[in-house]
Amino acid sequence: MSSLEEPLGLDKLPSMSTIDRVQRFSSGACRPRVDDMGMGNCWIDGRSCSSSNSCNDDYDNYSREVFPWRGHTRDMSQGDSLNKRSLSLGRNTLVFGKVCDSWYFPDHQYNSKSNHQEIRPMTNKFLKGIPNFVKIVEVGPRDGLQNEKNLVSTAIKVELIQRLVSSGLSVVEATSFVSPKWVPQLADAKDVMAAVCNLEGARLPVLTPNLKGFEAAVAAGANEVAVFASASESFSKSNINCSIEESLARYRAVTHAAKELSIPVRGYVSCVVGCPVEGAISPSKVAYVAKELYDMGCFEISLGDTIGVGTPGTVVPMLEAVMAVVPVEKLAVHFHDTYGQSLPNILVSLQMGISTVDSSIAGLGGCPYAKGASGNVATEDVVYMLNGLGVKTNVDLAKLMLAGDFISKHLGRPSGSKTATAFSRVTADVSKI
């Protein structure tokens, strides 16, 4: 951890080489037809450009370069029931905490869940690569709360973990065994683990920065741990007071000790797209750190956009580089939502074969050493999107939102989840009818 008094600022943003091309396909340059909003014959139809410039050739070249696997056409001869279903009428009303598959308005109902049998036969290559099941790793109790200035009691943390597990989440990161000097919010790690270590129905990994932290975690009853390295040399030195190579040496000691005890180790890589000091991070640097963690025995590598500056245009080449050296089934993604790009980044990651996603209840989180970095993508929003894609998660969205409501009320602020906010507004509107 850094001893700097002030966190690092977002004074440098990653430069994106494709930004000039992306601008040519913005709303001001190209207008998709109403029936082509991501579902029609052509995702963006150059023939419908609102300007005099034709974007067909440029868009095709851009698509082949940035999204080489995607096909942006679909055979519509079989009929498209998706649009029809989105306008279906109904009489079922939403009851918060009981029914979260749909919400009701006086004039119509919208259902967030797609019909599994209708989605899967789609000939649209845009959706074909998406997995049938996605594992969600909930990081709220650790990554979400670590940046909170006001201390959260052990009892609240324990109840939050219990609520998250009861919602169906199979992996909930419980706490971190770091020095209380650097992260005072997690000084009660031992007490939290004592209360939840025997909780059934989920794995409860904890973060361990070094061998000392690992030993403390094991003594507290942890059955799974995680280590964290950075793809940025500057961030590594400011965050954990050592170089990338020094951090990897530490983690080799941790993974060796864990192997002797048959304890699985997950690896995190931070700053996979951008760093608050260095700016853009080369995909090759991310691939190097990810491969080192994988080779030392980490069963899964989570790729984190720590300051939330990534877009699909920068996430794709990063994933391509990592997937060249680490099996895709061993990878996870971890996006912060600073610029509102988390869901697009997750979607494109799913298209590339990623099937594990980190998220935080109510969008809690942020990085103490990356000033301006907002919270993680909200778990509620991820589950809502996956429901709409027909992807299974085994998570009950109603119970999940209740857990988010619980911690948000305790923290004294609205939920950072757009899904939870929308449902609460609709519920309030229905109660007035």
Looking at the annotation, which residues are catalytic? 367
3-state secondary structure 371-398: CCCCCECEHHHHHHHHHHCCCECCCCHH
- What does the CA dihedral 277, 278, 284, 285 come to, rounded to 10 degrees? -50
Please, are residues 355 and 133 in contact by the beta-carbon 8 Å criterion? yes
Please, are residues 24 and 58 in contact by the beta-carbon 8 Å criterion? yes
Q: Which residue has the tokens 């939920």?
A: 415
Structure tokens at 194: 């004592």
Nearest Cα to Cα of residue 418 among 395, 401, 396, 398: 401
CA 310, 312, 317, 319 torsion-angle sign: positive
What residues contact 239, with CB distance under 8 A and at least 6 apart? Answer: 1, 2, 230, 270, 369
Burial class (CB within 10 angstroms; exposed 0-12, middle 13-18, buried 19+) of 106: exposed
Please, are residues 362 and 401 in contact by the beta-carbon 8 Å criterion? no
How far apart CA 183 and CA 177 sit, in angstroms, is 9
Q: Which residue has the tokens 């907002």?
A: 374
- Report which DSSP code applies to 336: B
Terminal-to-terminal C-alpha distance of the chain = 53
How far apart CA 237 and CA 255 sit, in angstroms, is 21
The SS3 call for residue 402 is: helix
How far apart CA 120 and CA 341 sit, in angstroms, is 26
